[in-house]
Structure 1
């Protein structure tokens, strides 16, 4: 057993884990049991509290697997309050900000730059960060067409010089600020945008999101337009339009695992059943890719998967909790030793491909089933529970089962138990937990499960603040490229 740390260290560690869970799961959008305003107010408080009290941890969170919404909020908060820290701390924060911006989707970054401008953050350091990010873009002409207002806002804020002439930056400047000045553009996308106003054939040369507007203006039939535009679509755009185009080149197995699970759940039951081999094979391939070097290393794994009615999510996050459970189901099957996985849905269904949000949440009954020995009479090495934590049939049974199991039947912790929760609880400023003795981690994408299991061990109380801060420092070093060792995402031993 560890020597207990002082209460201040324990409180700090709990606060850090609380914020990490929120930053992973919460997006400020409506959830099944709380509205968007509740979510936003809860997140506002957490961001302010952690930034003021644990600023170093707040900045280091950029190196964790937090979602893009909270990463952008952290960047904005650090830039807005840069005067509160020393020059050395600002340099470290600047490196973390630059590294995170490089990993964010461009549309998210341009939206962030708009918020920076509206907040009046216009110091030299902020402009340098924005200018460096713009300079690193592979094709600013493409961005000017696809994210025109965002590029225009950023260029104005950093006073980007766009002189007249024929060079690429000059053309972008003419396109953004002096439309109609040039009779034609050398950049193919800029010129395609110009021609698309009167030439229907130029529409298919544009990025899909831009071409859609021109197609509607020209009165093009949707199906014909989608087939012509397909070669220029991104992978996600192909996935969204696959039902209409039915193009054979859509490689479902190449999609991210959670995104693919969302796609599968959006299909009618008849299509899922008819395409069973294709969809199951794609999910398994995506899961094997997500597992990477962890495949087959978790031993005997039993999982309790929540497909109750609350897993339907909300209008803004439709079926997201259920998609995470479905993706985790396939990922855990790959992480487990061959033939040593058992997945139990709360509804009692045995066909994962046909799951749907339905019924109450009898987590306690399923946990009892999952803790029973598998083939050969051996208890599972790991029990993983994927649920929003609202155990209501009967209420609280899961927590009591786990408490008694740990205290009476498995005090030596032969079975590692972890609860991962895809839903942020705005009232509790955290993800909902089943019981104090079981570590809980927030999750947004199933692909992050191996790393989140490592974070969850800090919530179990068997490690202290020193280990948690060492873990954060290691993640920051890896994130910034200061440590060339392979990124460690070890699971609980």
Structure 2
């Protein structure tokens, strides 16, 4: 029993670390989210520190990965073997702006032990373009170098950061472009887009002219954020599945219809990449996909739950055997490209419809608030598992994209149905694998063995 409790505690934390970002959700505020997450991190770190560190090798989101690293570095006396390698490997995957934010938090907390200084120095030394970091993340890099008493990559970068008036000009084109952009409009088009934006506003450059001239310096994602129509089919086909789904849902219905072939092709290409070697191997698959009003998310996570459901739809289509996939949206709609967050959540009725198709796998993507009628989905799944399918011929898993701050977990539909948190549709195959541990039939030992395998593969992939 104690092993099962431990396994449940760890899975509860993994679900939270995958879904929660400390931001407002449809039914909970940002403050509630942060308070709930803070408790979970402290609880799991104190009671299951080796597993807490091992979570860095799982598909937890960047917000929680940074929190795990911060908590581990704050408590060096409790460190276990291999923690430093895990921290360094996960830091290498974090977006630079989030890593620099983490370093600022460590400085504010006066965390400056030897291990922290070594890890931060190694991360800075491994950055591929020191001049780009000095220009794009200047405050963060300065703070990190001061905190760990580390040298800059070269004397020129050091002068740029700490003594900018010492040099009349710089040998690095990027550093010199930043210097010239203070008084020369043409120089700002040699800078990264996010840096050039500030100089364009300072010089009063018209927005349309600025976007036209800076276009060669913009990334594909920056183009999509600034000009909705700028993305071409080739660009879209290279985007990650969930990010592409978010973009598609941001378009008006008329534009989605006009670009149906382009958007559908891009979504299917992204799904095939995410499916990888598992494509076509899942047999008969049925999916219940939540497009009720609560899938609209919040002001800071607009339509995120619906985007995850849309991404899962195309990924499950790729994973199922050809012609053996049945999607069922809670709205009863049949056009995934035109889904919108609307209406109640009749999960129970859709689950009944899905089970009638006799699938080998049933995947439910929903926030778990079954309300039309309330509780029907849980009762249907209970009867199905205990009376109609005790041999488990049909595998059922519930993926929930929304963290329930009050319950310290994602909301579940039924005790006998494994539930896993999901943030990106691309993680679906791995989450279905880890969801098996949520059924209560495996103990802490099996979960630790699984985590050890994931850590080994993670470090091997990171060159560790």
Gaps of 5+ in 1: 1-6, 163-167, 374-378, 485-493
**Residue 461 of structure 1: how far off its partner (Å):** 2.0
Which of residues 7, 16, 21 is equivalent to 2:10?
Answer: 16
Work out the number of aligned pairs and report it. 463
**Residue 247 of structure 1: how far off its partner (Å):** 5.9
Could you say what secondary structure the match of 2:169 adopts?
coil
Hey, what does 1:256 align to over in structure 2? 240
**Residue 223 of structure 1: how far off its partner (Å):** 1.9
Could you say what secondary structure the match of 1:19 adopts?
helix
**Residue 463 of structure 1: how far off its partner (Å):** 2.1
Matched, 1:409 2:388: yes
Instruction: Give the Cα–Cα distance (whole angstroms) in 2 for the partners of residues 151 and 178 of structure 1.
Output: 14
Hey, what does 1:188 align to over in structure 2? 173
Instruction: Give the Cα–Cα distance (whole angstroms) in 2 for the partners of residues 72 and 483 of structure 1.
Output: 17
**Residue 235 of structure 1: how far off its partner (Å):** 2.5
Could you say what secondary structure the match of 2:372 adopts?
coil
Which of residues 231, 235, 252 is equivalent to 1:268?
Answer: 252
Could you say what secondary structure the match of 1:441 adopts?
strand
Instruction: Give the Cα–Cα distance (whole angstroms) in 2 for the partners of residues 249 and 325 of structure 1.
Output: 22
Indicate how the Cα distance of structure 1 residues 352 and 471 shifts in structure 2: closer, same or farther if over 3 A, else same: same
Hey, what does 2:144 align to over in structure 1? 154
Gaps of 5+ in 2: none
Q: Which moved more, 1:91-100 or 1:45-54?
A: 91-100
The question of whether the paired residues in 2 share the 8 Å contact of 1:439 and 1:456 is answered with: yes
Instruction: Give the Cα–Cα distance (whole angstroms) in 1 for the partners of residues 102 and 234 of structure 2.
Output: 32
Hey, what does 2:211 align to over in structure 1? 226
Hey, what does 2:281 align to over in structure 1? 297
**Residue 238 of structure 1: how far off its partner (Å):** 2.1
**Residue 227 of structure 1: how far off its partner (Å):** 2.1
Hey, what does 1:61 align to over in structure 2? 55
Could you say what secondary structure the match of 1:481 adopts?
helix
Instruction: Give the Cα–Cα distance (whole angstroms) in 2 for the partners of residues 424 and 467 of structure 1.
Output: 25
Hey, what does 2:132 align to over in structure 1? 142
Could you say what secondary structure the match of 2:460 adopts?
coil
Instruction: Give the Cα–Cα distance (whole angstroms) in 2 for the partners of residues 282 and 410 of structure 1.
Output: 38
Instruction: Give the Cα–Cα distance (whole angstroms) in 1 for the partners of residues 65 and 231 of structure 2.
Output: 35
Q: Which moved more, 1:391-400 or 1:453-462?
A: 453-462
Which of residues 78, 84, 104 is equivalent to 1:114?
Answer: 104
**Residue 30 of structure 1: how far off its partner (Å):** 0.5
Hey, what does 1:368 align to over in structure 2? 352
The question of whether the paired residues in 2 share the 8 Å contact of 1:477 and 1:483 is answered with: no
Instruction: Give the Cα–Cα distance (whole angstroms) in 2 for the partners of residues 407 and 84 of structure 1.
Output: 44
Instruction: Give the Cα–Cα distance (whole angstroms) in 2 for the partners of residues 334 and 14 of structure 1.
Output: 31
Instruction: Give the Cα–Cα distance (whole angstroms) in 2 for the partners of residues 65 and 351 of structure 1.
Output: 30
The question of whether the paired residues in 1 share the 8 Å contact of 2:233 and 2:266 is answered with: no
**Residue 482 of structure 1: how far off its partner (Å):** 8.4
Could you say what secondary structure the match of 1:38 adopts?
helix
Q: For each residue in 1:59-93, what CA deviation from the matched residue of structure 2 results, as whole angstroms up to 9, or x when unmatched?
A: 000000000000000000000011124xxx2x511
Hey, what does 1:435 align to over in structure 2? 414
Hey, what does 2:199 align to over in structure 1? 214
Runs (4+) of structure 1 exceeding 6 A deviation are: none
**Residue 406 of structure 1: how far off its partner (Å):** 1.2
Instruction: Give the Cα–Cα distance (whole angstroms) in 2 for the partners of residues 463 and 195 of structure 1.
Output: 63
Hey, what does 2:83 align to over in structure 1? 93
Hey, what does 1:488 align to over in structure 2? none
CA RMSD of aligned residues (A): 1.4
The question of whether the paired residues in 2 share the 8 Å contact of 1:382 and 1:415 is answered with: yes
**Residue 184 of structure 1: how far off its partner (Å):** 0.6
Matched, 1:201 2:186: yes
Hey, what does 2:162 align to over in structure 1? 177
Hey, what does 1:287 align to over in structure 2? 271
Matched, 1:310 2:304: no
Could you say what secondary structure the match of 1:469 adopts?
helix
The question of whether the paired residues in 1 share the 8 Å contact of 2:193 and 2:217 is answered with: yes
Q: For each residue in 1:416-463, what CA deviation from the matched residue of structure 2 results, as whole angstroms up to 9, or x when unmatched?
A: 000000000001000000000100000000000000001100001232
The question of whether the paired residues in 1 share the 8 Å contact of 2:4 and 2:440 is answered with: no
Matched, 1:455 2:430: no
